[in-house]
Amino acid sequence: MPHAQPRPFSLSTTGPLTGTITVPGDKSISHRSLMFAGLAVGQSRIHGLLEGEDVLASAAAMRAMGADIVRGDDGAWQVSGVGVGGLLQPATALDMGNSGTSTRLLMGLVASHPITVTFTGDASLSQRPMGRVVAPLSRMGADFTCAPGERLPLTMRGLCPAVPISYTLPVASAQVKSAVLLAGLNAPGITRVIEPVPTRDHTERMLRGFGADLTVEDGPEGRIISLRGEAELKPQTITVPGDPSSAAFWMVAASIVPGSDITIRNVGLNATRAGLVTALRMMGADIAEIDARDVGGEPVADLRVRHAPLRAIAVPPDLAPSMIDEYPVLFAAAARAEGRTVARGAEELRVKESDRIAAMAAALSACGARIEEYEDGLAITGTGGEPLPGPRSGGARIATHLDHRIAMSMAVAGLNAARAIEIDDARPIATSYPDFIATAERLGAEAHWPDQ
């Protein structure tokens, strides 16, 4: 990161948020675009790639394994792939920074190649468990040496040919599903993943777009995704839609700041990612879809969001897979709603960049919200539209735990708080949304840097 020391900050506003903005390219699609293009034979072009640190870690890793990846002067990325089965032995360990998605998906790619790769990461990533990916990839023939608790640093030795498997996901995880399917690209025969609970389906959509023989059908146990291995992927031109996880912060910000009226352009609305839109509308949010369209096989629309009073709901647990990354900012919205919101069924939040349930419970409690913590979520009694009181003790700062979504969610919570809600470090935001603070300022918010 460009700053060696933490950079505390806060956001505030004395009036409404207004304007039209775009958000960074979808992070999930950006990761997969680089990886799949890196396995295609020929040159792909990617427009709208998210240029945050997590995605750049994927680009660096694919370069280290032989793909030619460059950013053109026009902002488009050009990728010349090595072909399925063509990944090369990297000269050094692959540093994944804070990106769990990069790590788990790349583990899937490496599993069916005859190479040995060591994955390292920052302090946060090194605490995140990799066992849920290690288990199925081991069945396919990969061999692992991990730090205690199946954590990074992790060295894996791929097997070629790998063994195709049929694997039922024990937890709803698009990353685990994707890792198994990516390993299956270079395995002979059919690799199947059965997901009892549907998760984001970018991998399936994009692999078909690149020419893979992949089918999806419904069965008694859930969705069955079948991939024929030893695939030959064809280069593509990809336009990455705006990331709904990044748009989420502005949807909540406009909903809770009186008088706000903003439009967010080109937001991806894949049904497996749009759970927050559903939840906010249930709470009374005013979110209109404008110019709904299809871009590269993904549904996209502009979203106009206007301030509206929010009311508490019981968040349906079956929404969890389609909004798992948006729970922190949903918690911030619930803290401003009328009544007691209960959001459960999200135990996956315990093993994200931080324990997001504990982190948000502590942060919102410190700012005056009434919180009840469960193993799989929170109950939050809101202010009924009134600003949060803010930290009770002067100078208190919210701990981000190096988690970009905690930092941005609590910055949104503090937009019109009674006392400034200072976030302990802006640096983690660069992993997914480098322009977050600048975008807030364009909408009318003011950024404060207390240590400068």
- Check the annotation: does 243 bind a ligand: no
Please identify which of the residues 122, 325, 403, 435 carries the catalytic annotation. 325
The dihedral formed by the CA atoms of 80, 82, 87 and 91, expressed in degrees to the nearest 10: -50
Region of residue 300 (left: phi > 0; alpha: psi -120 to 50; beta: else): beta
Joined together, the tokens standing for residue 219 give 């069965």
Q: Which of 122, 127, 128, 103 is nearest to 35 (CA)?
A: 103
What phi and psi, each to the nearest 5 degrees, are found at residue 19?
135, 175
Any binding-site annotation on 409?
A: no
Bridge-based pairing state of the strands 116-120 and 397-398: unpaired
Q: Is 5 annotated as a binding residue?
A: no
- Where does residue 277 rank: exposed (0-12), middle (13-18), buried (19+ CB within 10 A)? buried
CA atoms within a 13 Å half-sphere pointing along the CA-CB vector of 86: 21
Is 177 labeled as ligand-binding? Answer: no
- 8 Å CB contact between 224 and 30: no
Q: In Å, how far from its chain's centre is CA 47?
A: 19
Q: Which H or E run contains 183?
A: helix 174-184
The answer to whether 259 is a known ligand-binding residue is: no
In total, the chain counts a number of residues equal to 452
Tokens of 432: 């997914």
What CA dihedral angle connects 122, 128, 132 and 136, to 10 degrees?
10
State whether residue 87 is helix, strand or coil.
Answer: coil
Tokens standing for residue 196: 């009892």
325 annotated as a binding-site residue: yes
User: Is 28 annotated among the ligand-binding residues?
Assistant: yes
| 405 is an annotated ligand-binding site residue | yes
Q: How many CA atoms lie within 13 A of 282 on its CB side?
A: 17
**How far apart (Å, rounded) are the C-alpha atoms in residues 117 and 394?**
48
Q: Is the dihedral of CA 294, 202, 210, 223 positive or negative?
A: negative
11, 437 contact by CB (below 8 A):
yes
Among residues 68, 80, 74, 72, the alpha carbon closest in space to that of 44 is found at 80
Angle at 242 between CA 236 and CA 244, to 5 degrees: 125
223 among annotated binding-site residues: no
The residues near 141 (Cβ < 8 Å, ≥ 6 apart) are 111, 112, 158, 159, 162, 163
Q: Give yes or no: 122 in active site.
A: no
Give me the helix-helix angle, 27-39 and 100-111, nearest 10°: 20
Consult the annotation and say whether 173 binds a ligand.
yes
Tokens of 87: 């990944």
Q: Confirm whether residue 234 is marked as ligand binding.
A: no
Which residues contribute to the annotated binding site for phosphoenolpyruvate? 27, 100, 128, 175, 356, 405
Which residues contribute to the annotated binding site? 27-28, 32, 100, 128, 173, 175, 325, 352, 356, 405
Q: Which residues are part of the catalytic machinery?
A: 325
Which residues contribute to the annotated binding site for 3-phosphoshikimate? 27-28, 32, 173, 175, 325, 352
